[in-house]
Amino acid sequence: MSSASKTIAPQAAILPLVFQQAVDQADVAISITDTRANILYVNPAFCRVTGYDTSEVVGHNESILSNKTTPPEVYKSLWQKLARGESWSGTLVNKRKDGSKYLADLTITPVTDAGGEVVNYLGMHRDITEMHRLECQVKNQKALIESVVDAAPMVIALLDADDKVVLDNSAYKTLMADLGMIEPASLLLASIRSELAHEETAARNDGYLFLDREVRVERPGVNAPRWFSCSGVRVHEDDDRADAFFANEGRSYLLLVAKDITTVRAQQEKARMAALQAVMADESRVNVLRESLSAAVFQLEGPLNMISSAVGMLTRREGTTSPKAVALGEAVRMGEEALTGLRTMIPAQSVEAESVVNANELLRDVLDVSTGRLLGAGIRVTWKPQAVLPALRGYPNKLRSLFKALIDNAIEAMSVRGWRERELTVTSHALLGSVEVIIEDSGPGIPPELQLKVFEPFFTTRRQGGDGGRHLGTGLSAAQQVAMDHGGSIEIDAAHTHGCRVRIVLPVQRDHG
Ligand code: FAD
């Protein structure tokens, strides 16, 4: 106890001197006034900031610094607070001795005597003109950038590391309303990322994560899709939190810019559709030829096999020189020759390169190509696509043939004379790791006992020759083969009783092994 009081005594003795030196040397402008703001003391920093010497301000009121442009309400609130014995902090417009103005960030604290009575005021202020100028500059720049971004005729969004949109422009908001309040950035990015997942892309060295990626956006109930050319840039921001001052790792954002290129793409699409129509018509002709020849071979093989076994029986019974056996044997040989000839005439399947495909796009192609037939048959089409589907690797022509076979079947099924309900619904969804397409018609449907049989080669529910022998029933078996080639499946929904509902599931990633 005694040792503590021993150490306090010398400190108490030097404290007033230390305080005096600290106040004198402080870099903040300090003044001490009486209770009416008449200046009693100013430190050297006060003189530096205001341009006045000590002798020029001591005895004067602090209002000597007022530029008379600070609104009176500010002073009113200042004095009201001081009158309550509280400190006041705020910004005032001050004037230096030379008449130049500066912004003072001022704090006034009442100083009380031992009885709690306010006897003085302590004022501390800093010139914050430069800081204010910089703040204004940043604010103005931000406002300028925001108005430019807002007026830009492209969709712009800034996303944080969790893909949350932290900033967007009015074109973005308009697109969002158009898409039924679905976040456009999520749609566009999902599509781009699913495409990138299929590509072996080297890291870009131009700062872009992706550049001019075209994304097709479907809108349920709207016939024409929209197209966007998207680019993405990584943007880095310094971390402004106090604890990040010495270890600033910053935050990373993705700036997504999407340009609406629907008009340009619509033109390109028109030309592409015309070419596709010709290719598909050609392919369809070749397929019909392949189907007809395969069916002819299949149908001839049966009787030929029967004759062949009859020849065997005759030879066993009557010997190899039996005239009947010889004649029939010759007929079998000629038949087999004819079959071989027919087999060589079956056109080979066209070899197609695998590529990144979008099921919505292919379905749209097929619906567009089939428009004439659908209108002719008086069929109402409902197109219910998922706005953006993940891309998959596949054979575009084969997949188009698959969808076309199913849509052709639906058209034929509903074209029965007198059938009134003629509706075709085409739906697409993204499932976990795959894409699901549902093609549904309001026709007579397929009886449950035939729902598996229809996938057998050469099976048909139509009467032979009923359509001029054009369709011999390889459509569904070929469609199933295409689905299997893509690692997927195709099935008829047994639970669906009103018409026929076919479900195709195609995996996004396929095991090539
Ligand atoms: P008014 O505010 O009406 O002032 C008229 C006079 O009355 C002034 O002498 C004022 O000090 C005094 N006064 C007004 N209300 C009260 C009250 N409720 N109680 C006691 N006196 C009152 N002003 C600046 O513009 N710049 C500064 O840097 C600045 N520093 C200050 C530092 C301290 C420590 C204090 C106490 C005040 C400071 N002031 C400052 C406020 C200043 O005293 C004036 O109130 C202000 O400048 C406006 O003066 P005015 O003559 O335009 O009008």
Give the atom of ligand 1 at the shortest distance from the alpha carbon of 37: 36
More confident residue, 154 or 248: 154
Is the model's pLDDT at 5 over the cut of 50?
no
**Per-residue pLDDT at 513:** 44
Ligand 1 proximity of 325 Cβ (cutoff 6 Å) = no
CB 241 within 8 A of CB 232: no
Q: Which fold has domain 23-129?
A: Beta-Lactamase (3.30.450)
Confidence of residue 455 (pLDDT cuts 50, 70, 90): confident
Ligand 1 proximity of 79 Cβ (cutoff 6 Å) = yes
Ligand 1 proximity of 62 Cβ (cutoff 6 Å) = yes
Ligand 1 geometric centre to CA of 78 (Å)? 8
Other C-beta atoms closer than 10 Å to the C-beta of 335 total 17
**Per-residue pLDDT at 470:** 37
Is the model's pLDDT at 468 over the cut of 60?
no
Is the model's pLDDT at 465 over the cut of 50?
no
> Longest Cα pair distance anywhere in the chain, in angstroms?
148
- Among 43, 67, 75, name the best residue to mutate to test ligand 1's pocket (greatest count of ligand atoms within 8 A of Cβ): 75
pLDDT digits 0-9 by tens, 469-510: 334 455 788 889 999 999 999 999 988 888 999 999 999 987
Question: For ligand 1, atom 31, which residue shows the shortest CA distance?
Answer: 62
Question: For ligand 1, atom 30, which residue shows the shortest CA distance?
Answer: 62
Domain 355-513 has CATH 3.40.50.1820: no
- Among 30, 49, 63, name the best residue to mutate to test ligand 1's pocket (greatest count of ligand atoms within 8 A of Cβ): 63
Ligand 1 geometric centre to CA of 73 (Å)? 12
Ligand 1 proximity of 415 Cβ (cutoff 6 Å) = no
For the chain, the structural domain boundaries read 23-129, 152-241+248-260, 263-350, 355-513
**Per-residue pLDDT at 290:** 82
**Range 292-300 average pLDDT:** 85
- Among 41, 66, 80, 92, name the best residue to mutate to test ligand 1's pocket (greatest count of ligand atoms within 8 A of Cβ): 66
pLDDT digits 0-9 by tens, 210-264: 999 999 888 766 677 889 999 999 998 888 888 888 877 788 899 999 999 999 9
Torsion, Cα of 164, 358, 355, 155 (10° steps): -40
Given 1.10.3470, 3.30.450, 2.30.42, 3.30.420, which CATH number is that of 152-241+248-260? Answer: 3.30.450
Is the model's pLDDT at 158 over the cut of 80?
yes
Comparing CA positions, the residue from 136, 138, 84 lying closest to residue 108 is 84
More confident residue, 75 or 248: 75
Give the atom of ligand 1 at the shortest distance from the alpha carbon of 121: 34
Ligand 1 proximity of 36 Cβ (cutoff 6 Å) = yes
Give the atom of ligand 1 at the shortest distance from the alpha carbon of 31: 34
Torsion, Cα of 385, 390, 391, 395 (10° steps): -60
**Per-residue pLDDT at 459:** 65
Confidence of residue 512 (pLDDT cuts 50, 70, 90): low
Ligand 1 geometric centre to CA of 37 (Å)? 6
Confidence of residue 40 (pLDDT cuts 50, 70, 90): very high
Ligand 1 geometric centre to CA of 68 (Å)? 11
- The per-residue pLDDT of the chain, averaged, comes to 88
Ligand 1 proximity of 50 Cβ (cutoff 6 Å) = no
Confidence of residue 466 (pLDDT cuts 50, 70, 90): very low
Ligand 1 geometric centre to CA of 98 (Å)? 20
**Range 35-45 average pLDDT:** 96
Give the atom of ligand 1 at the shortest distance from the alpha carbon of 61: 9
Instruction: Report yes or no on whether pTM surpasses 0.75.
Output: no
**Per-residue pLDDT at 19:** 86
- Among 62, 73, 118, name the best residue to mutate to test ligand 1's pocket (greatest count of ligand atoms within 8 A of Cβ): 62
Cβ neighbours of residue 321 closer than 8 Å, sequence gap 6 or more: none
Least confident of 111-115, 236-240, 331-335: 236-240
**Range 368-383 average pLDDT:** 93
pLDDT digits 0-9 by tens, 173-211: 999 998 888 899 999 998 899 888 887 766 677 778 999
pLDDT digits 0-9 by tens, 403-446: 999 999 999 999 988 899 999 999 999 998 999 999 999 999 88
Is the model's pLDDT at 463 over the cut of 60?
no
CA distance 396 to 231: 26
pLDDT digits 0-9 by tens, 276-293: 888 888 887 887 788 788
**Range 66-82 average pLDDT:** 96
- DSSP structure string for 72-130: HHHHHHHHHHHHTT--EEEEEEEE-TTS-EEEEEEEEEEEE-TTS-EEEEEEEEEE-HH
